[in-house]
Amino acid sequence: MTGTTTGPASREWPLWSTFARLVVTDEAAMTSALAVVEEYLRRVDDAANRFCPDSEISRLHAGGTELGPVLRDLLEQALWAAEFTDGDVDPTVGGSLERLGYDRDIELVLDEGAPVRAVVHVLPRWGSVILRGSRMWCPAGVRLDLGATAKAVAADQAAALVAESTGSGVLVGLGGDIATAGPAPEGGWQVRVQDAPDDPPTQVALPEGAAIATSSTVSRTWRHGGRRLHHILDPRTGEPAPTFWRSVTVAAPTCLQANAVSTACIVRGDRAVDWVERLRLPARFLRYDGHVLTTGTWPSDEPAEAPR
């Protein structure tokens, strides 16, 4: 624990083609917090970066079966998300993403790749992945992509590690995935909700320990085979999910849950709102015509100020 509370501090740095953001309520905890977060995120990258040939997940794709503790956790959480969303969020879509041209960091994906060949094939599903302790088995050729859930799990874990080690309240944001731990600032964690710059923004206050995540059909897009594609696939078709929503933002007790639900909402399209109502989660749905729907305790939209 730090001895003296001196006020909030924040840091932001580029990571995984997006930005990592760290906010601590106690400025004196920042140095230690930053070191913990960077070290943990490096381990996540070493474990799950499918674009890096030296990563653990790349070695799995080459035939390995043994998982280290970080990758095991990430895969276990990904399989939980798959089961919870009835397969709408599925870690076995890696092969489909590669076929669609998303086979390297999004900043390096060519904006106009070769046409996609129409090939009849059986898509793998998450149920074909068996995880027992630190070993994993799946059919040959299955390519895992943990991108849908790994950032969320990493945000949850990094926030918990910082709160535990420093005693400070902490917010960890990895792109759209934001987790908090420890005591919140007075009035809650102020989070701006805005995907594309021309989308209508709003701002909400998260209570202590809450998380929030946004999934979008506008961000992380590329052209391939004459088509504009986005990165959230319907695992049943291996194609980008229909663009019913521009973005969906969900608040939940953990970032993994928020992310799993927001991603599944993109896949579910117009069936998503009833599902989220039944889950009793606060959420904000932005349609392509700019119309906003909200569920649960989501407050009515208010003008938002940009983070400082």
Partner 1 sequence: MDQRDRDLTTAQGLRRALVATGVAGSLGFAALAAASTGTTGSISGAAAGRGSGVPARVGATGSGAGLLPRLTGDDGRQEHGDDDGSPARPLRVRHQRPPAAVLPGPGLLPGSGPAQATTSGS
Residue closer to partner 1 (CB basis): 60 or 212 = 212
Backbone phi, psi, residue 294, to 5°: -130, 160
Rounded to a whole number of angstroms, the minimum distance from the CB of residue 140 to partner 1 is 26
Distance CA 105, CA 84 (A): 28
Identity of the amino acid at 291: H
Binding partner 1 by CB under 8 A: which of 194, 223, 269, 292? 194
Scanning residues 7 to 26, which ones bind partner 1 (CB under 8 A)? 8, 10, 13, 17-18, 21, 23
Residue closer to partner 1 (CB basis): 107 or 140 = 107
Rounded to a whole number of angstroms, the minimum distance from the CB of residue 99 to partner 1 is 22
Binding partner 1 by CB under 8 A: which of 145, 202, 224, 272? 202
Scanning residues 255 to 284, which ones bind partner 1 (CB under 8 A)? 256-257, 261, 279-283
Scanning residues 91 to 120, which ones bind partner 1 (CB under 8 A)? none
Question: Which range binds partner 1 by CB under 8 A, 86-94, 110-118, 138-146, 184-192?
Answer: 184-192
Among candidate residues 115, 113, 143, 121, the one with its CA nearest the CA of residue 48: 143
Distance CA 87, CA 94 (A): 14
SS3 assignment, position 58? helix
Distance CA 250, CA 268 (A): 14
Rounded to a whole number of angstroms, the minimum distance from the CB of residue 139 to partner 1 is 23
Distance CA 122, CA 30 (A): 49
